Amino acid sequence: MGGDAIVDLNSPLLSPSTGTTVSDERLGIDDMLQRYAGEFGRWQLRHFVLVSMAWALEAFHTMVMIFADQEPDGHGGAKKPPSSDWLGGRDVSSTVAEWGLVGDQRYKIGLVQSIFFLGCMIGSGVFGHLSDSFLGRKGSLIVVCVLNTVFGFLTAVSPDYWVYAALRFLTGFNTGGVGLCAFVLATEPVGPSMRGVAGMSTFYFFSGGIALLAGVAYLFRSWRVLYVITSVPSLLFVVAVLPLVSESPRWYLVRRRTADAMAVMQSIAKKNGKQIPHGITLKLDDENEESEATTIKNGQGGVERVIMSGSVVDLLRSPITRVRLFGSVAINFLCSVVYYGLSLNVVNLDTNIYLSVLLNAVAEIPAYIVTALLLDRFGRKPLAIGTMWFSGVFCVIGSLVGNVGVLKVVRMISGVIGIFGMAATYNLLFIYTIELFPTVVRNAALGCTTQAAQMGAILAPLVVVIGGAVPFAVFGACGSSTPTTNRMDSMGGGAAADLHSPFLSPSQGTAVSDERLGIDDMLQRHTGEFGRWQLRHFVLVSMAWALEAFHTMVMIFADQEPNGYGDAAEPPSSDWLGGGDASTITEWGLVGDQRYKIGLAQSIFFLGCMIGSGVFGHLSDSFLGRKGSLIVVCVLNTIFGLLTAVSPDYWVYAALRFLTGFSTGGVGLCAFVLATEPVGPSMRGVAGMSTFYFFSGGIAFLAGIAYLFRSWRVLYVMTSLPSLLFVVAVLPLVSESPRWYLVRRRTADAMAVMQSIAKKNGKQISQGITLKLDDENEEEEVTTIKNGQGGVEKVIASGSIVDVLRSRTTRVRLFVSVAINFLCSVVYYGLSLNVVNLETNIYLSVLLNAVAEMPAYFLTALLLDRFGRKPLAIGTMWFSGVFCVIGCLVGNVGVLKVCHLQCSELVG
């Protein structure tokens, strides 16, 4: 009777078939994040940033070996240390200097670094298991940070090499768990749609940690003090940061602590301004699954259906996952050899080690940005292979050049660009590996690839210690030998085709009335020619013209000379313009018979512009696209600009200015096309002319920056950083050109942009309206041209230069247009650069030139329709020429200097 009573008490008063039940629902964590708590709100952002700081700690403990184990220049091959004060003495030394690790003992440098990575490999496996078991993610992170502090302090007091090696192994054992635990703890509370982006963003903290380490090492030159300084942050992280973060709700759930998991989810929802309804509870995502049956594409159009339990044996059972595993392991191994090898190889470059490490770290950050931006456009596999080959090519270049004189800088640049490419590959590998394997065996696959990467890291120091050109050659071989296979495609490709197929073929059912329009017609009739969308897009993209002005006109200030010393045989003192590094002229004495080098470097820049405009004009029409090309040129401008700032001599400076010109040549071109193509035809001309306001504004702004930063090296840094900010903060807000999408047969993407334009402009595209290429129905273009004698010529044109030359009329027009453009360019850039000869305030002169350009654009727009194109063009050109003649007739003394200046403004 008692038993029956218990059953009755627990049963509902009304069965489901006879009454109403209390609504409740059990959801997995991902479902709850998506539907109720928020995928990436204020809670997740704060949690992610705090936890990801641990990656900077991992960078400290890993890369500290670069500075602690460095050797003095020129003593790597010595039999024994020449004195006890290498690198400044025992208190400002390295392990190499203290224990004489040169000659036949030099192998010990690579050995201790490999021992550290061996510890990392073992520790990642141990703490990966502990973070899944009783310790948890947060508990494991506390343990590894405390142990890293302890072993770091002990390393600082190592009495000899072998104790030092043992303590580095123990530090590596803990460090192997830092990134792993931090990654899982930071990303598990993030919703599934944002988890990949969050996972990729953790690498920014690692690169930032390396950059910060370079500064710390510069301040503290003793290796013992450096180990103390880099260990203290781990303790501060445990004391000040980890108490502010929560344990992973997923770990709580796995450990059957459902109440704690729900408490975290409620906290997430509350902080994100959301609410979890009453009656909603958590369950494990796989709680109702007895086994997971996974469908895998077999590479021959069919599929394999495999029931997997989640072990490495399951990975090897299927030939598809087996091939993917071996390919992923090989790629991770090779990438790790190159990445860690290039990072450690700075000790062999014979350049400033602190600057080299800083540049490597800085190069990684735009690599992550570019990867994120280009990922969906090119796909995982092509982008991963491309960036790996890109890195390999520059490693090969580094192995071919010598390590003397200016070639040292070339080798350093090759290493920096190699790091850029390999960091991008590393960033891709995480996402690519996840998508290659079914969920049930994903962790096992990630474990294998992680171990392969650690094995590559173990090998890298042993390659670096060989020295010379060998490390670069090995890294080039690793970067160029990418294993590829048709079976290494992401999961679900076949499903995608089914999902995108129509329910009814064109022959079935009732056809929907539709109309196919060119982009110009659609802009005019449905979306609006220049509304709010186009205005915002135009302003954002046209900012790139200000960047072009920075990179072009910076030479005015960087290459300026003191008044009266242009014809001097040598610089009279080292403090021209306030210091020896105020301009390139004062630093390298470009006066007298060396003065020609000023104009030579500037002409080399414009030569690069000419070549780059052709190259990037082609790339913007092909696979890169307008936006992709603009990203590439801005990133390259940042890199080359920063490298220009550290040029050791004139010829390296000139070479880097050529490279900067090469990428700058694509900036205005890509920005002009991207800004104007979404504008309607009636407004496109006005929009195109308006881009010049941004160029002139950039010059005016540059004058202020140059006034504040008088050192040419600092000025190049300050004018290069905005290009990176533009890529990070502005370009993600703009769309690719719908015209490019259409040419590339990506009609759905083009329509998505047009729908966005219409919506922002308060309009609507009628149902059934689709896009077509403007010339899709034209077999040939028949052009009628006035022949100058009152008649016409009818020409069938295909679009090549041959067609332009075939007709006498177009041939004459071409030659005249080329001549006028050439002459105008000589005058415009000549007057802009000639401010250095006016012997007036150079900052004011450049500012006035820039300001004078703006009313010129405005007046041109106002008078264009009244006077016509040809009379107005000839009139303004003659007007400019007259004042140039006046400028050459007056002297350059006293008040006549101002006449010179005023003539220059009127000419502009």
Measured distance between the N- and C-terminal CA atoms of the chain, rounded to whole angstroms: 105
Q: 499: how many CB neighbours lie within 10 A of its CB?
A: 8
Round to whole Å and give the CA distance between 877 and 907. Answer: 9
How many angstroms separate the CA atoms of 172 and 61, rounded?
8
Q: In 509-534, which positions are buried (b, 16+ CB within 10 angstroms) versus exposed (e)? A: eeeeeeeebbbbbbbebbbbbbbebb
* Model pLDDT for residues 675-727, shown as the tens digit of each residue: 998 998 888 888 888 888 899 889 989 988 998 888 899 999 999 999 999 99
Three-state secondary structure call for residue 314:
helix
Q: Is 839 exposed, middle or buried (0-12, 13-18, 19+ CB in 10 A)?
A: middle
In the 8-state DSSP scheme, what is residue 780? S
- pTM of this prediction? 0.57
- What's residue 2's pLDDT? 43
At a CB cut-off of 8 Å and minimum separation 6, what does 608 contact?
Answer: 657, 658, 659, 660, 661, 662, 663, 664, 665
- 672-707: string of b/e by CB count within 10 Å (b at 16+)? bbbbbbbbbeebbeebeebbbbbbbbbbbbbbebbe
Residue 327 structure tokens: 């390919």
Other beta carbons within 10 Å of 505: 8
pLDDT < 70 positions in the chain:
1-23, 72-92, 285-312, 376, 430-431, 434-435, 439-444, 482-514, 562-581, 774-801, 803-804, 861-862, 864-865, 891-908
Report pLDDT for 64.
Answer: 94
Whole-number pLDDT of residue 171: 95
Which residue, among 698, 590, 593, has the nearest Cα to 653 in the 3D structure? 590
Instruction: Give the tens place of pLDDT for each residue, 779-807.
Output: 444 455 555 455 555 544 445 567 667 77
Q: 7 phi and psi, to 5 degrees?
A: -60, -45
Asked whether 258 and 176 are in contact (CB, 8 A), the reply is no
CA distance 433 to 376: 16
What pLDDT is recorded for position 581? 52
Residue count of the chain, please give it: 908
Task: Give Cα 49 to chain centroid, integer Å.
Answer: 20
Q: Which two tokens stand for residue 241?
A: 């940061």
| Residue 776 burial class via C-beta count within 10 angstroms: exposed 0-12, middle 13-18, buried 19 and up | exposed
SS (H, E, C) 556-621: HHHCCCCCCCCCCCCCCCCCHHHCCCCCHHHHHCCCHHHCHHHHHHHHHHHHHHHHHHHHHHHHHH
Query: What Cα–Cα distance (Å) separates residue 889 from each residue in 46, 245, 566, 901, 905?
Result: 67, 74, 21, 13, 16
Angle at 165 between CA 162 and CA 168, to 5 degrees: 150
Residue 855 DSSP label: H
